[in-house]
Amino acid sequence: MGIFPFFEKEETIKTEKPIFKEYAYDFENNTFKTRNGREYLVYRDEALKIWIYKALKTFRFKHLAYDDAYGAELYRLIGKAKDIDIVKLEIKRYIKEALLVNPYILEVSNFRIFENIEQNEVSFEVKTVYFGFDFTQEMEFVNG
């Protein structure tokens, strides 16, 4: 009871987010997965992996079909910096900015960036409202 007993205490209405879902995706063949000839949905962390993959592959501000909050700005790194340490910091920043707009993603951390002649691959941990997972993606358009 508050100091004014004639006022009812406001109840905070907690609204739960709907379960996150995406169509199942075949990353190797860059197409939707099918069962019996039909696309199907996956849920929670499995769906978030697909969302992350697509968000990092989509150039932010380049497609009218997407909101300005969707996508990554990794394309801005092409030919811009010669210092690999600066490139790594920018990769981390752009990935965090791209992913943390999703309310189901709570944290992106522990980045590991591997370089070799053929590819730039980035791995990181994703903490979600469900559980979390490690995520790895090739950044073929980023070169230092």
The CATH number given to whatever domain includes residue 90 is 3.10.450.40
- What's the confidence (pLDDT) of residue 104? 96
Residue 10 lies in a domain: no
- What's the confidence (pLDDT) of residue 41? 96
Residue 1 lies in a domain: no
The residue behind tokens 């039909």 is: 38
The token pair at 124 is: 């990181």
> What is the C-alpha to C-alpha distance for residues 19 and 24, in angstroms, rounded to an integer?
15
What's the predicted TM-score (pTM) here? 0.78
Residue 7 lies in a domain: no
Domain housing 57? 21-138
Number of domains in the chain: 1
Residue 83 lies in a domain: yes
Q: Which residues, at least 6 apart from 90, have a Cβ–Cβ distance to it below 8 Å?
A: 76, 77, 81
Residue 93 lies in a domain: yes
- What's the confidence (pLDDT) of residue 143? 47
> What is the C-alpha to C-alpha distance for residues 48 and 102, in angstroms, rounded to an integer?
9
pLDDT along the chain (144 residues), means of 10: 54 73 92 94 96 83 67 66 75 89 95 70 93 87 49
- What's the confidence (pLDDT) of residue 118? 56
Residue 27 lies in a domain: yes
Residue 4 lies in a domain: no
> What is the C-alpha to C-alpha distance for residues 53 and 10, in angstroms, rounded to an integer?
41
Residue 12 lies in a domain: no
